Amino acid sequence: MPHALRRRISAIATATAVVLGASALTGCGTSGDGGEAASGPVSLTYWAWAPGMDKVAALWNDKHGKEAGITVTVKKQASGDDLVTKIITAAKAHQAPDLVQAEYQALPTLVSNDALADISAEAGDARKAFAPGVWQQVTLGTDAVYALPQDSGPMMFYYRADLFTQYGLKVPTTWDEFAATARALKKKAPDKALTTFSANDSGLFAGLAQQAGARWWTTEGEKWKVGIDDAATRKVADFWGGLVAEGAVDNQPMYTPAWNKALNTGKQIAWVSAVWAPGTLTTAAPATKGKWAMAPLPQWTNGTNSTGSWGGSTTAVTTDSTHKAAAVRFATWLNTDPEALAALVRESGVYPAAIAAQSGGALAQPPAFFANQPDFYTRAAAIARTTAPAAWGPNVNVAYTAFKDEFGKAAKAKSGFGTALTAMRNATVADLKKQGFEVAP
């Protein structure tokens, strides 16, 4: 049910996304924070989906919040594109909450719908707490700041250490080796596959393209330039399309019961994923505890060090908030204060975006599922530093839906991904034009 609805909701989102004329770049934050109360208790609402966020907010309410007279109430939401639609709809009616949790790739969409306030004046100093590649995603390359990074999802390569030994496989350091490994496994155990290409997970494909150096949305003057079929992305699409076509990797989607089973029973022995994979594996493949290991993502050229990101989110203040300064104060505490970050790791299981919190402290121990790899988070922090910059545009949701449709068909037919990529680009460009944005050829 949620899937069918999700599609419907995003269709509505496109229909209702009225263009406000300005592009994300020119839409500057002149929004009124006139009702700023200088004193008196302030009550803020915060839409978030991370589990346990209410407990982290309670920590604030009991101490700093009490001193500053700022109380934060968390209203738990379901994550995903639907929530972006919901926030935009609420913003249209001027009913949006003060604070929202938003994924990095959703920020341009929210900004172009005038839902997020520019907090550069209040939160500009937070810049130094984050890696430049992460910070760039909340500024959208402008002087404005539209959100504070909360968690990040640097991508990594996960593999079944025991089965790799059993089949005599080496951990691939380049994508060529990755393909060779997939073929070698198919030869030795035809009923197994190294991994699968999931046409359901647009974020994974976007992360892989990001690693290869793709820039999906850039600006040229006042025009958007869509690079979804640029050379880097094409390289990634052809690589995976080829592996699927020759049957070296599976073509079934991830996050399905069948996929869980394939991981749990060792039918698939590796997973290209992100830093949060241990949590997913804990529920998807409980029988394989302690048998996995993590390595950096394979590289396109020998000797380089680069990764993409999959997932990760931010805390943003809405234009509807009448207590902008108070909201920014809480958001800054939540995402930079050591105590708050430790609570986020403990209660919400996030991998913090703040560099200082990525090693030691709450992340000194490896995740329980990876107890066999004691330096898990030390290595993860090193990988996180190599995250390539990402370039998001105002209709990521449309591109993602097009990816699911087109790549889904192509993966099923095992026909290569070239046409699918062109179709995905064309759908994205057509939607931008329909929304009234100017698109550079």
Give the residue from 310, 350, 315, 319 showing the smallest Cα distance to 333.
Answer: 315
Using CB under 8 A, which of the segments 189-197, 326-334, 349-357, 384-392 binds another protein? 349-357
61, 120, 136, 260: which one binds another protein (CB under 8 A): 260
Of 309, 295, 285, 312, the closest CA to residue 369 belongs to: 285
We find the least distance from the C-beta atom of residue 12 to another protein, in angstroms, to be 6
* Interface with another protein, residue 35, by CB under 8 A: no
Q: Which is nearer to another protein, 152 or 233 (CB)?
A: 152
Q: Is 318 left (phi over 0), alpha (psi -120 to 50) or beta?
A: beta
Q: Sheet harboring 217-220: ordered strands across?
A: 217-220, 223-226, 439-440
Residue 221: CB minimum distance to another protein, A: 34
Exactly one of 9, 294, 297, 317 binds another protein (CB under 8 A); that residue is: 9
Each residue 286-325 as x (binds another protein by CB under 8 A) or -, in order, gives xx----------------------xxxx------------
Q: Could you tell me if 352 and 344 are in contact, meaning their C-beta atoms sit under 8 angstroms apart?
A: yes
Residue (193 or 284) nearer to another protein, CB: 284
Q: H-type helices in 17-144, by residue range?
A: 53-62, 64-68, 81-92, 107-112, 120-123, 132-139
Binding characters for another protein, 109-148, by CB under 8 A (x = yes): ----------------------------------------
Task: Specify which residues 219 forms β-bridges with.
Answer: 224
Q: Which of 34, 40, 190, 257 binds another protein (CB under 8 A)?
A: 257
Candidates 23, 42, 44, 47: give the one binding another protein (CB under 8 A).
47
Interface residue with another protein among 32, 41, 63, 95 (CB under 8 A) is 95
Q: What is the CA radius of gyration of the chain?
A: 22
Counting Cα atoms < 13 Å in the Cβ hemisphere of 164 gives 21
Query: Residue 46 CB, nearest distance to another protein (Å)?
Result: 10
Q: Where are the beta strands (DSSP E) in 133-175?
A: 148-160
In angstroms, how far is CA 316 from the centroid of its own chain? 15
Check residue 20 for interaction with another protein (CB under 8 A). no
Contact 291, 158 (CB under 8 A): no
**Which CB sits closer to another protein, 112 or 318?**
318
Task: Name the 3-class secondary structure at 34.
Answer: coil
Site for another protein in 215-254 (CB under 8 A): none
1 touches another protein (CB under 8 A)? yes
402 token code pair: 């097009």
Shortest separation between residue 254's beta carbon and another protein, angstroms: 11
Please give the Cα distance from 309 to 34 (Å, whole number).
37
Give, in degrees to the nearest 5, the angle at Cα 209 between 205 and 211: 120
Contact between 349 and 49 (Cβ < 8 Å): no
Stretch that binds another protein, among 155-163, 190-198, 279-287, 324-332 (CB under 8 A): 279-287
Cβ–Cβ under 8 Å, residues 294 and 370: yes
Distance CA 133, CA 146 (A): 15
Pick the binder of another protein from 66, 75, 385, 434 (CB under 8 A).
75
Size of the site for another protein (CB under 8 A): 55
The one among 199, 350, 384, 420 contacting another protein by CB under 8 A = 350
Q: Tokens 């991998």 belong to which residue?
A: 351
Residues that bind another protein (CB under 8 A): 1-2, 5, 8-9, 12, 16, 45, 47, 49-51, 54, 75-80, 82, 86, 89-90, 92-95, 97, 103, 151, 153, 203, 255, 257, 260-261, 264-265, 274, 276, 279-280, 282-284, 286-287, 310-313, 348-351
